[in-house]
Amino acid sequence: MTRQNISSGAPWEPIVGYSRAVKVGPYVHVAGTTATGEDGKVVGPGDPYAQTVQTLKNIESALRKAHATLKDVVRTRMFVINIADWEKIGKAHGEFFRDIRPATSMVQVSALISPEMLVEIEADAVIVDE
């Protein structure tokens, strides 16, 4: 099996030493992803729903680079600053995964890397039709 490191182009990837996603065989692991837009700024400040939507779009983009889709996702992990926002975050997650229904977790954390960030999501995928 070969390994493919997938970059989002974020300037901190080489500094920290990580990839947005890593594909090995049919497995794709997407690193913790936030609502960072193409300009490097957080999309939807103060809006957990908007941030979740942008985060999932960023995950979808990483999956495409690995020749995978959201349909291949088998697990997500959501890290949230305020668990009271679970319905807004869950609504956005449901809009992307309603019919796919991966195993998932949502846990509250004390902080993310930037105070504007409210949500961070990881995803694992298995490409069955490779």
Query: What pTM was estimated for this model as a whole?
Result: 0.95
User: What pLDDT digit, counting tens, does each position of 54-99 carry?
Assistant: 999 999 999 999 999 999 999 999 999 999 999 999 999 999 999 9
Residues 6+ apart with CB under 8 A from 49: 88, 89, 91, 92
Which amino acid belongs to residue 19? S
Q: What is the dihedral of CA 106, 110, 112, 115, to 10 degrees?
A: 120
CA dist list (Å): 9 to 18, 30, 35: 11, 14, 14
User: Residue 22, Cβ neighbours under 10 Å: how many?
Assistant: 17
Instruction: Please compute Rg for the chain using Cα positions.
Output: 14
User: What pLDDT digit, counting tens, does each position of 4-13 carry?
Assistant: 999 988 777 8
Using CA atoms, how far apart are residues 39 and 81, in angstroms rounded to an integer? 23
For residue 130, is pLDDT > 70? no
